[in-house]
């Protein structure tokens, strides 16, 4: 085989992989768009959280330190919780998209795809990118409420938020695939995914801040030590904090740390999903 023939074979192989990647991505997106229940959930969930929690708990968004009541952060609770609601919508949709792995396995589609010329990396990447795209769309539904939450969303802020949401959706969809590779039933996947997602979300400082004005010792006095430890080592804490920095200009950690943690989580979780997928 000449050098030109070898280059032609490689181009044909690459074209086939890209075509398959696009087809798998499009299949996931179309299936999610046709799922009315998922669309209704993606639209109603942020409205419920913003209206009920954001407005209902806004008067109580205060902390008491050494007998003096003061606002923990210089924002309303509605503004503070808004980036967390964005992350919540992205997370729920990402995990729901990963359930397609269980579906495809049970109904034989996965077996057919695995016997195709497509590499397992291409197959997995297509499914994760499809789920990530749908999750990003649902995250954008929350951003539409930014004006209602009194958040001055600029074009630059929206672009930065979209970038963070895209990385977060990729990471959480990869996590969902990791769960789907270990759970073989729809019922088991739903129960186990909620058992993972909800604790991650509620211990990410999405709902309440750890007062940055306190020293480490004061923090352990004000909050239970176990809670501070979980929040500190929860990767989602840094994702929500970075989103909060982009959307309302308030963050407790350096922006580079938030972005770095989310990117690292995406790479690690995708690698684990790929390893499990290769053994399937």
pLDDT score for 68? 47
pLDDT score for 188? 72
pLDDT string in tens for the chain (280-residue length):
555 556 666 777 677 778 888 888 888 888 877 777 666 766 677 777 666 766 666 665 654 444 444 445 667 778 888 888 889 889 888 888 877 777 777 766 677 777 777 788 888 888 899 989 999 998 888 888 888 888 888 888 889 999 999 999 999 999 988 888 877 776 677 777 777 888 888 888 777 766 655 556 666 667 777 777 888 888 998 999 999 989 988 888 888 998 999 999 999 999 998 888 777 6
pLDDT score for 132? 92
In 3D space, the residue among 245, 175, 204 whose CA is nearest the CA of residue 88 turns out to be: 204
Contact 101, 193 (CB under 8 A): no
The reported pTM is 0.84
β-bridge partners, 69: 64
- Please list, in sequence order, all residues whose beta carbon lies within 8 angstroms of the beta carbon of residue 261, skipping any fewer than 6 positions away: 235, 238, 239
Give the integer Cα–Cα distance in Å for 96 and 191.
12
pLDDT score for 39? 67
Give the integer Cα–Cα distance in Å for 22 and 16.
10
Give the integer Cα–Cα distance in Å for 166 and 137.
10
Give the integer Cα–Cα distance in Å for 155 and 146.
12
pLDDT score for 215? 55
pLDDT score for 54? 66
What DSSP letter does each residue of the chain carry, written as one string? --HHHHHHHHHHHHHHHHHHHHHHHHHHHHHHHH-HHHHHHHHHHHHHIIIIIIIHSGGG--EEETTEEE-SSSS-HHHHHHHHHHHHHHHHHHHHHHHHHHHHHHTTHHHHHHTSSS-HHHHHHHHHHHHHHHHHHHHHHHHTTTTTTT----HHHHHHHHHHHHHHHHHHHHHHHHHHHH--SHHHHHHHHHHHHHHHHHTTTSSS---TTS-HHHHHHHS-HHHHHHHHH-HHHHHHHHHHHHHHS--SS-HHHHHHHHHHHHHHHHHHHHHHHHH-
pLDDT score for 65? 44
β-bridge partners, 70: 63
């Amino acid at each position: 085989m000449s050098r030109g023939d070898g280059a032609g074979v490689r181009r044909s192989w690459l074209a086939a992989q890209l075509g398959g990647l696009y087809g798998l991505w499009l299949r996931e997106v179309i299936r999610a768009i046709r799922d009315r229940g998922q669309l209704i959930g993606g639209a109603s969930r942020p409205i419920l959280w913003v209206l009920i929690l954001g407005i209902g708990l806004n008067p109580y968004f205060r902390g008491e330190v050494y007998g003096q009541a003061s606002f923990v952060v210089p924002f309303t609770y509605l503004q503070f919780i808004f980036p967390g609601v964005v992350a919540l919508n992205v997370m729920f949709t990402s995990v729901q998209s990963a359930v397609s792995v269980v579906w495809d396995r049970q109904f034989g589609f996965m077996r057919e795809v695995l016997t195709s010329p497509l590499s397992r990396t291409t197959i997995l990447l297509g499914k994760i990118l499809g789920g990530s795209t749908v999750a990003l769309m649902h995250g954008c539904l929350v951003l539409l409420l930014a004006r209602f939450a009194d958040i001055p969303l600029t074009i630059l802020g929206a672009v930065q938020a979209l970038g963070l949401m895209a990385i977060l959706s990729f990471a959480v969809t990869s996590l969902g695939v990791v769960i789907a590779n270990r759970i073989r039933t729809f019922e088991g996947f739903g129960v186990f995914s909620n058992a993972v997602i909800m604790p991650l979300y509620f211990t990410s400082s999405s709902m309440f801040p750890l007062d940055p004005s306190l020293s480490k010792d004061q923090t352990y006095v004000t909050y239970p030590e176990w809670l501070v430890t979980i929040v500190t080592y929860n990767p989602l804490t840094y994702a929500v904090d970075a989103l909060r920095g982009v959307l309302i200009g308030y963050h407790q950690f350096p922006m580079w740390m938030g972005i770095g943690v989310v990117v690292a989580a995406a790479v690690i979780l995708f690698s684990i999903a790929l390893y499990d997928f290769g053994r399937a």
